[in-house]
Structure formats: structure tokens, C-alpha cells
Amino acid sequence: MVRLVYSIIIAICIPFVLLHLLLRGIRSPEYRSRRLERLGFFKAPEQAQDFWIHAVSVGELLAAEPIIRELQTRYPAKRITVTTMTPTSSALVSKLFGDSVYHVYAPYDFPLFVGAFLKRIRPKFVIIMETELWPNMLHGAQKAGCSVVLANARLSERSARGYKRFLLLLSWLFDSLQLVLCQFKPDAERFERLGISPDRIRVTGSLKFDMQFDAELAEKGLILREGLDSEQMIWIAASTHEGEDAKVLAVHQELKQRYPDLLLILVPRHPVRFDSAYRLAHEMGFRVGRYSERESLLPDEDVYVLDVMGQLMRFYAASDIVFIGGSLTEVGGHNPIEPGALGKPMLIGPHYFNFEMICREFMASSSLSVVQDDADLKVQLSRLLQDPKMAAELGNAAFDVVEKGKGAIARVVDAIAPELD
């Protein structure tokens, strides 16, 4: 009954979702193509697929990459379909795997669309990344006889409380999961509180620690800095959200009074805000550069707006201090592992609930510090700028945290191997 009501609501929403997709296609041409895939209609692969791996967007796809590669290594004859929801992640699938996997957009969560998708893919095993629990997707996979695993699973205390309120209505949702492979022990405990049997829960660690990075990133960071004075300091505000750019720029304005050569690399999370961030920096009187006009950094710039996707790691490598956005506002923060893997000291706002346990791993080594607001951000940045030796030591500590966290890939594939044999 609950799923029926949910499906009726989805049916009512679908025309509006399709209209949104149409309008978005006007602004972003990449959304115009392959629309029928989202309704479950596409050219089916010639053979049934052994694995269906669902990674909603780029972050989840990057976490899924090592699982996919490990599966391809251990089970080279098995066929893999990867679904995502965005054109950016679709392009990344092609870049990472070429023709070695089959890619299609995930269907909207309506029984007709999910059924059409499953009929074409015919998967035996479903791996869902992190938190994507869609009722009709899970029900359809279970009905089709698929084994369903939630991998790299995380569940915040806030989300657990939300599920708990409706547990009588949602218990069937969790019953469809054969395995829940959690990032950390508190995640496992929260899933257990929701009624999932302990024998279906494992703690495998976070796959994000096992992400593969370009071995030449450090050198690429140095190349970006070639035009700067060797002593010039750079801090990067990465993945900022609405309302954060102004705060970050105001902090930078104050810091420039003491550190006139200080350069800020400003990286809005979403492309729709690239231009507004650039304009705001200009309006505040900064000398501003942007990637779309020039890739290199100049010594006489105050702010550089990274207005392109896919280049963040290079600019992390070029920076001395990292502030992780989405955390001064209640977005929940972003992944600290990427700058940590490059040995950077990190700051984050008080709202880091999306990556709470990972953040706590870094906090335990003092390589990630929490700033309560923009005023505190200025204080903590000043502390690091005044003592480059301490900043470097904290960066080394961050790198050590990443190294110690590795090994989740093998644990995940080992956990699902008995289901495959």
C-alpha cells in the first residue's frame, strides 16, 4: 500500500520532471539527448548483465570505480552495466571504462520505467552506492530475483532518525537488501537500529580512501604555480554553495591586508554559479582571473575562479591550504579525502554531516579543523599562514590518514563473493 501511494505521487510528478528536463536542455545541451533512457527505453545489450551498479553522480561513480575494476579483474567474463543520473557522470563512465561496461541513465523510480529497464538489462546482481534507496528500484530488483547490495553505505544520525519515524511503513525497503556494506561502525549501528539483521551488515571501510589519483598531480600543481613567486601562498575554497562565496571573499579581503600576495582559488560547486562568483569578486574590487579565459595563475591576481568541471584535483595540488565548502551553510560538506590524499591541511565549516565519520578520522589527527563561521575561518587561516611548517605537518598527517584508511575495495568484493559463487 505504501509503495502504491508513493508510485501515485511519482506518477503525478513525472510530467513536471520531464518539463524540468526539457527546460534544462535549453540551457544545457547535454540534457537534450537520451531522454528515453530515463523512462527505461533504450537499446538493450545483446546479453544479460551480471552486475548492475548504480552510482547517482560523479562522487558515487568515483567511489564505485575501484569496485568495478576489482570485479573486472576477478571476474573478467562477467558483464557490467553502470547507471548514473547526470551527463557529467555519464561522460566520466565513458572516460574511465570505455566499452568495457555498458552505460545507461537510471530510470525514474516508477514501476513501468524500472520494469522496462530491468527487462532490457536482466541483471543478476545489483550494487547500489552509498544511500540511493529508491522503493520501486529495490522492489523491482527483488522481484526480478536479483541480489541487492548497498555498498559504501553511510547513514547519518539525522537520516536514521528520519527513517525511524516511518519504520513501520519502510521496513520492507530494508528487507530487500541482502547486504549492507558500511563505511564505519556507527553507520552499521544505525542500520541495525532500523531493523536490518546484523548478519546482513558488514563494516568494510570507505571506498573513497581507495580512490586512484593521478600520480603526476603534485607535478601538475607545481606547473600551475610556475608564474608565481615561490613564497606566494594560495588557499582554495572548494565546492562552495549559495551564500558562501560572499563570506569567503570577505575573509580573503581582510586577509589581504596582512598578506598582500595571498591568492584565493574560488571553486563554486555548480556551473550555474560560475559567472556570479566571478562578478561578485570583481564587484568587491579584486583583480580576478578565471580558468575559462586562462589556465595559468598570475602573481598580480587576488582571486582565481575555477569555472570548469574536472580540474579540482590539480588546483588542490597547487594550493597550500584547503577550505571545504558546503559547510558554512547546511549543505553537509564535501569529501576531505581528495585534498587529504595530496597532503593538504584542511578547514571545514560546522555543517559536515554528509561526511561526518570521514571528517572525524581527519580531525583525530588535527589535519582537519572545524571553523564555526566566517570570522573563525579568518582566524584559522591566519594561524596556518603564519606557520607554514605547522601547516605542512598537518598536511602530512592528512596524507597518513588516507593511507591508513585504504583496503575497503578488497573487503567489499570479498563480502559479495559468496553471493557470486
Clarify whether residues 65 and 173 are in a common domain: yes
Q: 274 or 163, which is more confident?
A: 274
271 and 241 in contact (C-beta within 8 Å)? no
Range of the structural domain that residue 143 is part of: 23-206+406-420
Read off the pLDDT of each residue in 86-91 and give the average, rounded to a whole number.
87
Give me the number of domains the chain comprises.
2
Clarify whether residues 225 and 164 are in a common domain: no
Clarify whether residues 366 and 251 are in a common domain: yes
Whether residue 1 lies inside any domain: the answer is: no
- 149 bridge partner residues: 127, 179
CATH value at residue 37: 3.40.50.11720
Clarify whether residues 43 and 186 are in a common domain: yes
Distance of CA 384 to the CA centre of its chain: 27
Q: Could you confirm whether 403 is annotated as catalytic?
A: no
> 400 burial class (0-12, 13-18, 19+ CB within 10 angstroms)?
middle
- In order, the DSSP letters of 254-287 are HHHHH-TT-EEEEEESSGGGHHHHHHHHHHTT--
Is pLDDT at 33 greater than 80 in this prediction?
no
Would you place residue 15 in the very low, low, confident or very high pLDDT band (cuts 50, 70, 90)? Answer: confident
Angstrom distance (rounded) from CA 85 to CA 224 = 32
Clarify whether residues 228 and 143 are in a common domain: no
Is pLDDT at 421 greater than 70 in this prediction?
no
Count the Cβ atoms, other than its own, within 10 Å of residue 17: 13
Q: 411 or 4, which is more confident?
A: 411
The number of CA neighbours under 13 Å toward the Cβ of 250 is 10
Read off the pLDDT of each residue in 304-318 and give the average, rounded to a whole number.
94
Clarify whether residues 63 and 187 are in a common domain: yes
Residue 63, pLDDT score: 87
Q: How far is CA 183 from CA 187, 201, 258, in A?
A: 7, 11, 42
Q: 367 or 271, which is more confident?
A: 367
**Which candidate in 30, 37, 60, 419 is catalytic?**
60
- In order, the DSSP letters of 393-404 are HHHHHHHHHHHH
Clarify whether residues 233 and 94 are in a common domain: no
Distance of CA 163 to the CA centre of its chain: 22
Burial of 47-70, coded b for 16+ CB within 10 Å and e otherwise, reads eebbbbbbbbebbbbbbbbbbbeb
Whether residue 150 lies inside any domain: the answer is: yes
Full-model pTM: 0.79
Clarify whether residues 33 and 152 are in a common domain: yes
Whether residue 59 lies inside any domain: the answer is: yes
Burial of 83-111, coded b for 16+ CB within 10 Å and e otherwise, reads bbbebbbbbbbeebbeeebbbbbbbbbbb
pLDDT (tens digit per residue) in 230-274? 889 999 999 999 999 999 999 999 999 999 999 999 999 998 999
pLDDT-wise least confident of 41-55, 337-351, 379-393: 41-55
Is pLDDT at 155 greater than 90 in this prediction?
no
Whether residue 337 lies inside any domain: the answer is: yes
Clarify whether residues 266 and 350 are in a common domain: yes
Among 155-169, 215-229, 234-248, which range has the highest average pLDDT?
Answer: 234-248
pLDDT-wise least confident of 160-169, 183-192, 351-360: 160-169
Query: What radius of gyration do the chain's Cα atoms show?
Result: 22
Would you place residue 18 in the very low, low, confident or very high pLDDT band (cuts 50, 70, 90)? Answer: confident
Whether residue 8 lies inside any domain: the answer is: no
Kind and range of the H or E run holding 246:
helix 244-258
Angstrom distance (rounded) from CA 256 to CA 254 = 5
Is pLDDT at 285 greater than 80 in this prediction?
yes
50 and 78 in contact (C-beta within 8 Å)? yes
Residue 170, pLDDT score: 73
> Whole-number mean pLDDT of the chain?
91
Whether residue 387 lies inside any domain: the answer is: yes
Is pLDDT at 20 greater than 90 in this prediction?
no
- Reduced to 3 states (helix: H, G, I; strand: E, B; else coil), residue 46 is coil
CATH value at residue 266: 3.40.50.2000
Is pLDDT at 59 greater than 70 in this prediction?
yes
Angstrom distance (rounded) from CA 285 to CA 367 = 33
Clarify whether residues 263 and 350 are in a common domain: yes
Read off the pLDDT of each residue in 364-385 and give the average, rounded to a whole number.
97
pLDDT (tens digit per residue) in 325-366? 999 999 999 999 999 999 999 999 999 988 989 999 999 999
Clarify whether residues 76 and 38 are in a common domain: yes
332 and 241 in contact (C-beta within 8 Å)? no
Whether residue 295 lies inside any domain: the answer is: yes
Angstrom distance (rounded) from CA 98 to CA 420 = 25
Clarify whether residues 43 and 131 are in a common domain: yes
Can you say whether residue 333 is alpha, beta or left, with left for phi > 0 and alpha for psi between -120 and 50 degrees?
left
Amino acid residing at 17: V
Residue 36, pLDDT score: 83
Residue 27, pLDDT score: 73
Is pLDDT at 137 greater than 70 in this prediction?
yes
Amino acid residing at 337: I
Whether residue 250 lies inside any domain: the answer is: yes
